[in-house]
Amino acid sequence: MTTPTPIIFAHRGASGYCPENTMAAFRRALELGATGIETDVQRTADGQLVLIHDESLKRTTGNDELVKDVAYEEIVKLDAGNWYGSVAAYAGESIPLLEDLLELTKDTDTIINLELKNGVIPYEGMEQQVIDAVRKHGMSDRIVISSFNHYSLALCNRLAPDIRTGVLYMEGLYEPWKYAAAIGADALHAYHYAVLPEWVAEAREHGVHYHPFTVNDEAGMKRMLACEVSGIITDYPDRLLNLIEEKGAL
Ligand code: G3P
Ligand code: MG
């Protein structure tokens, strides 16, 4: 039996080449052959879902405030591309709405991994908001919701059992496929050092997939491909695509 081709998840878009979590990074991911996109969801003061990794706006825009304290009409004016090296081409990129990414990808086959950044700030009600946005775009079968906040994932599974979820974790959980099943999750979004081939095989027997993060070097990618994971999250989707194509040619 041949193993299905792993999903190439572009981490924060093609963030190895473009400022993370911008429309430029998402478009570039598609151009480079990504079959999936991972992104981070936070919420503005006026309740808009936006794509930015940090709770604070500081690192990627220079504004020293929290996302949760600023209304979207102010956030959208911030430059989220200027910080990225000296590449002037990205100046003027703004922080996207979740809706912008769903619009970009709704007529493609791309799998979208929405990481809810609700481990630090709980953003009460965010789960239902995300599910509503996904349903509005008819994308329920192409979404994987993940979070380090596993209570939030369990809630997502109760609210929308048809939308896949992935458990994010850093360390060597014991038999994590059992844990995933306990909260109704479909996938393990494990830090890549917490992945061994025998665990991937056993998880698969239980119907649970591994989507390790964040794997950027070729050696790490080869190790994950040898483990036969179902997807890999990387800043360099083209690098991973090349390895998958080489492997297919063997
Ligand atoms: O979803 C995988 C990965 O993005 C989790 O860590 O900090 O890059 O969001 P982080
Ligand atoms: Mg993330």
Report which ligand 1 atom has the smallest distance to the Cα of 117.
9
Split into its structural domains, the chain has a count of 1
Determine, yes or no, domain membership for 91. Answer: no
Determine, yes or no, domain membership for 72. Answer: no
Residue 53 CB–ligand 1 contact under 6 Å: yes
Residue 213 CB–ligand 1 contact under 6 Å: yes
- What is the whole-number distance in angstroms between the Cα of residue 39 and the centre of ligand 2? 6
Cβ-contact 118, 16 below 8 angstroms: no
Q: Measuring from atom 10 of ligand 1, which residue has the nearest CA?
A: 53
Residue 223 CB–ligand 1 contact under 6 Å: no
With a CB cutoff of 8 Å and minimum separation 6, the contacts of 248 are: 5
Q: One digit per residue, pLDDT tens: the chain, 250 residues?
A: 556 899 999 999 999 999 999 999 999 999 999 999 999 999 999 999 999 999 999 999 999 999 999 999 999 999 999 888 766 788 889 999 999 999 999 999 999 999 999 999 999 999 999 999 999 999 999 999 999 999 999 999 999 999 999 999 999 999 999 999 999 999 999 999 999 999 999 999 999 999 999 999 999 999 999 999 999 999 999 999 999 999 886 5
Site to probe by mutation for ligand 1, drawn from 60, 168, 210 as the one with most ligand atoms within 8 Å of Cβ, is 168
Determine, yes or no, domain membership for 126. Answer: yes
Determine, yes or no, domain membership for 43. Answer: yes
Determine, yes or no, domain membership for 222. Answer: yes
Determine, yes or no, domain membership for 142. Answer: yes
pTM over 0.95: yes
The DSSP code sequence of the chain is -PPPPPEEEEETTTTTTS-TTSHHHHHHHHHTT-SEEEEEEEE-TTS-EEE-SSSBSHHHH---SBGGGS-HHHHTTS-SSTTSTT-GGGTT--PPBHHHHHHHHTTS--EEEEEE--SSS--TTHHHHHHHHHHHTT-GGGEEEEES-HHHHHHHHHH-TTSEEEEEESS--SSHHHHHHHHT--EEEEBGGG--HHHHHHHHHTT-EE--B---SHHHHHHHHHTT-SEEEES-HHHHHHHHHHHHH-
Q: Measuring from atom 7 of ligand 1, which residue has the nearest CA?
A: 53
What pLDDT sits at residue 56?
98
Which residue type sits at 83? W
Residue of 65, 86, 67, 69 lying closest to 21 (CA atoms): 67
Q: Measuring from atom 3 of ligand 1, which residue has the nearest CA?
A: 213
What pLDDT sits at residue 84?
86
Distance between CA atoms of 14 and 237, rounded to whole angstroms? 7
Site to probe by mutation for ligand 1, drawn from 213, 215, 235 as the one with most ligand atoms within 8 Å of Cβ, is 213
> Counting Cβ atoms within 10 Å, is residue 135 exposed (0-12), middle (13-18) or buried (19+)?
middle
Report which ligand 1 atom has the smallest distance to the Cα of 148.
5
The CATH number of residue 123's host domain is 3.20.20.190
Residue 233 CB–ligand 1 contact under 6 Å: yes
Determine, yes or no, domain membership for 119. Answer: yes
Determine, yes or no, domain membership for 70. Answer: no
| Strand pairing report for 209-210 and 164-169 | unpaired
Q: Structural domain of residue 106, as residue ranges? A: 7-54+96-247
Site to probe by mutation for ligand 1, drawn from 40, 60, 120 as the one with most ligand atoms within 8 Å of Cβ, is 40
Residue 115 CB–ligand 1 contact under 6 Å: yes
